[in-house]
Structure 1
Amino acid sequence: MTDAAPRLAALAETLLGAPLPVRIRAWDGSEAGSPTGPTLVLANRRALRRMLWKPGELGLARAWVAGDLTVEGDLFELLDRVAGLLWEREPAAEPTPRAKHARLARAAGTLELLRDPAARAAVRDLAALARPWPAPAPPPEEAPRRSGALHTKVRDRAAVSHHYDVGNEFYGHVLGPSMVYSCAYWSPGGTLEEAQRDKLDLVCRKLALTPGARLLDVGCGWGSLALHAAREYGVRATGITLSREQAAYARKRVAEEGLADRIDIRVQDYRDVKDGPYDAISSIGMAEHVGSDRYREYARTLHALLRPGGRLLNHQIARPPEPDEAAHRIDEFIDAYVFPDGELSPLGSTVGELERAGFEVRDVEALREHYALTLRAWVARLQDRWDEAVRLTSPGRARVWLLYMAACALGFEHGRLGVNQVLAVRPGPGGDSGLPLRLRTWGA
């Protein structure tokens, strides 16, 4: 029989209470669903078993990473069409019937939650399609099971290694020559390289760097900001990272540019830095790794390392606030495959923690649209260099990155994610901030 796709489409429409937003092609060659747009291809029954054993986002992600599930057509369009099923949250008000069904589909997927007889029958049909029943092993790209307290130094080092120690050459294919792995700062018609250069310069100007000043770059990556600050502003920079591969690459760049007398790259946890005070501290895309349990310690540590009157630039991804929810949230797919133990918090929570640590927050700039453009540029680079990226890592790892970056691009575009640069100072004697009356002298 060649009826797997129609049966799957019927199940999806029963659970959603609405027509299937994409087309499905099953392993038996059958097709069903939307007559236009991209097609979700289930290569085998194992894709269904993954979704039944781990319903929701993680099961779909495992099927994608393993190659059991693929997409024909525009990945961005497909993700946009299914976003309401996976990432868009229900409103605080009473959810609509469609939202309730979507929640059921995302939840455990078990019969006791599906009180609608039609939904129960549809899930039974899905179970019959998915036989035989053994639970598929997760793809090897998934992070190993973790134990112990969150955000200890050992656990953080392992999490950072999972994400960053996958090969500097692979990252070069995705990020481009700048080797900057954070939101760029775009001008109309600009290139990725120009936008990343402008972001580095924006950070330096916000920090008011001057020749001879001491800069601490927390989570320095491949050394791009430290290099720019030393080369263009004459600072003495210290960059710290937990990734040995990043540190080796950064040190090589520093030596090649003849800046070893001005830049020190260390494999070091921010909690172990003891050689303050610094005139300025940058933390660009690192605070997402800190976690709710450690964020106040993080803020207080940076405050103690900064001289009175010094500036902190904290560049961090945020999520919108939601009622009756903890300040930080862990995303299943990202936790398993991308940033183990990473947590996102609303901007207000970040600002509050910085203020509790003694900082005075003086400026906040939202760069949400800039990150969407950055991610789309990274996706284009990865797709253009797909065969080489696969050779350098694995097919599964390349698929992780493609899904992660495409989904996040849409998250920023639709406001499900944000990113903000928070400029704060450690006030000096008498509350002196050291800031000019008109602060935004760094330009538009």
Structure 2
Amino acid sequence: MTTDADSRIIAARRITAHVAELLQADLSLRLWNGEVLPLGPNARDDIQIVIARPSAVRRLLLKPGLMTLFEMFATGDMRIEGGSPLEAADRWDHGRAIHLAKRADKMLIAKAAIPFLLSGSDAGATQLPEWDKTGNDGIGADKAGRSDKDFIQFHYDVGNDFYRLFLDPEMVYSSAYFTDHNTTLEAAQEELDRICRKLRLQPGQKLLDVGCGWAGLSCWAAKHYGVTVHGVTLSQAQLDYGRAKVEREGLSDKITLELKDYRDVVGEYDAISQVEMFEHVGFANHERHFLEMKRLLKPRGLYFHQASVRRGGLDPIKATNTTKVITRFIFPGGELDTIGMTVTNLGRLGFETLDVEDMREHFELTLQHWEDRLYAKREEAYAMVGEARTRLWLIYFALFKKSFERGSVLVYQTVAQKRRPGPSGLPLDRKSLYADRPVPAMTKVAKAPAKPARGVRAAVSKAIAKVTGKKSRAKPA
């Protein structure tokens, strides 16, 4: 006689065999009874996706999608063993994976689902962690409907020691710049210098560092370019770390850091840097953001804008399933722009876009380093922030690494100048950005060539007349 437990195992085998046929993956699935099933032809079992209990299958059948998967990875009802989430994701074709639900045989799945659905409960399912923000994720809200400080602190106040597990010594939490695939993360994060060069920084200038993070760029610019820096952040943990770093490096006379919304800053600056903070702003606040940048810049001041963006499409601002998951578990309030909207908004709100550089493959490599480092130190991370949060961050890194790899997410560095009629005052070529040493930020506007003296003009005119046979009109010297 077949028991309910037996019928669920038989159904799970049938569903897995169908998924394996579609996915063609090189890893295996381990059921709650310890049985290991391949997820593709000749699939290895060194990396396994583990389903902890039958109720996990029931939940996924009732509500299939990325959100349910993230919830189950958060609770531990589903987990990956034998490798990192990124190593697991490298074992299948990402295009096949994201279209799996569309290609599945719905009738086959429906019949196999019956034993799980008849069980009628989620018995044994683990509760989501307390920090899960199931309320206001901030999508589509303007400033009045957002709690930006809460959103930022949810993401960054996890703890400086947690971020130190995977970031470089400068604590740069943005895309590095790799000269080749063998470049170390530490060397690649000297990208800070390229940002300073793109801003044409020089001694005596004032730089506003919006979303200054752990003060990596602020310290680099003050130390190597002699500028005075005002950095603002909404994360108390970042502020505490940044102030200690400034003090430690003897830069207190050059750098001021504050816990402040950049929209409340008063002053005028030669340059502004915004490095991957814009993703937190939200579509409804984009116009306000660029107008604030314009307000805070001196005429012809330079604005550096680095942000991850979506590829775009028919409805570039509609929240995707990935967006919904990330804003709930990782980045509350986050919404990705498109490069087209970035440049359009800059142009219509008082800027001239001078330079746009795609860094998609650089961020892909950066995320690979972060994933590898965090996975290698996952036991330390468990002790700091718990297993649930660590697992979700590893999946988050893997998801976005694959998104950059496929080109569905990109990252651009954009440099714009506060518009004013006349010459920009900047060099005409890009050589200065790649020189061995920093160059002056602004060059003098070239004057029109001086007119030749009257005597010289007369001599030239006579020479032309002699050749052409026309009478010279030049006045005598």
Same fold (TM > 0.5): yes
Aligned partner of residue 154 in structure 2, secondary structure:
helix
Structure 1 position 195 matched with structure 2 position 188: yes
Match of 1:24, as an amino acid?
A: L
2:132 to 119, 122, 142: 142
TM-score, normalised on structure 2?
Answer: 0.81
Superimposed CA distance per residue, residues 197-247 of structure 1 (whole angstroms, 9 cap, x where no aligned partner): 2x1000000000000111011110000000000000000001111101101
Which protein shows a greater Rg? 2
Aligned partner of residue 317 in structure 1, secondary structure:
strand
The correspondence of residues 28-43 of structure 1 with structure 2, limited to 5 A, is 28-33=33-38, 34=40, 35-37=42-44, 38-43=47-52
1:362 to 339, 351, 354: 354
2:95 to 84, 105, 114: 84
Q: Structure 1: any 5+ residue segments left out of the alignment?
A: 89-98, 106-113
CA contact (8 A) 2:179 2:188 kept: yes
Structure 1 position 246 matched with structure 2 position 238: yes
Structure 1 position 11 matched with structure 2 position 11: no
Superimposed CA distance per residue, residues 117-167 of structure 1 (whole angstroms, 9 cap, x where no aligned partner): 434223334424674469864333422412887243761111111100011
The number of aligned residues is 420
Structure 2 match to 1:273: 265
Cα offset, 1:82, TM superposition: 6.5
Superimposed CA distance per residue, residues 245-295 of structure 1 (whole angstroms, 9 cap, x where no aligned partner): 1011100110111111110101111211122x1100100010111111000
Structure 2 match to 1:109: none
Structure 2 match to 1:344: 336
Structure 2 match to 1:108: none
Match of 2:178, as an amino acid?
A: W
Distance 2:376 2:195 in 1: 30
CA contact (8 A) 1:4 1:26 kept: no
Q: Give the stretch that moved more between structures: 7-16 or 310-319.
A: 7-16
CA contact (8 A) 2:276 2:306 kept: yes
Match of 1:190, as an amino acid?
A: T
Cα offset, 1:376, TM superposition: 1.1
Distance 1:54 1:350 in 2: 36
Cα offset, 1:53, TM superposition: 5.4
Structure 2 match to 1:96: none
Distance 1:194 1:17 in 2: 43
Superimposed CA distance per residue, residues 54-76 of structure 1 (whole angstroms, 9 cap, x where no aligned partner): 42001111111222211133432
Cα offset, 1:51, TM superposition: 2.5
Percent of aligned pairs with the same residue?
36
Match of 2:186, as an amino acid?
A: E
Aligned partner of residue 421 in structure 1, secondary structure:
strand
Structure 2 match to 1:411: 403
CA contact (8 A) 1:299 1:357 kept: yes
Cα offset, 1:353, TM superposition: 1.4
Distance 1:405 1:66 in 2: 18
Distance 1:232 1:351 in 2: 30
The correspondence of residues 381-392 of structure 1 with structure 2, limited to 5 A, is 381-392=373-384
TM-score, normalised on structure 1?
Answer: 0.87
Aligned partner of residue 60 in structure 2, secondary structure:
helix
Inter-CA distance 55–431: structure 2 relative to 1 (3 Å threshold): farther
Q: Structure 2: any 5+ residue segments left out of the alignment?
A: 436-477
Distance 1:237 1:122 in 2: 62
Distance 1:147 1:102 in 2: 26
CA contact (8 A) 1:317 1:418 kept: yes
Distance 1:341 1:54 in 2: 24
The correspondence of residues 125-136 of structure 1 with structure 2, limited to 5 A, is 125-128=115-118, 131-132=121-122
Aligned partner of residue 365 in structure 1, secondary structure:
strand
Distance 2:51 2:330 in 1: 23
Distance 1:49 1:85 in 2: 23
Inter-CA distance 59–328: structure 2 relative to 1 (3 Å threshold): closer
Aligned partner of residue 438 in structure 1, secondary structure:
coil
Inter-CA distance 182–16: structure 2 relative to 1 (3 Å threshold): same
Task: Tell me how large the CA RMSD over aligned residues is.
Answer: 2.6
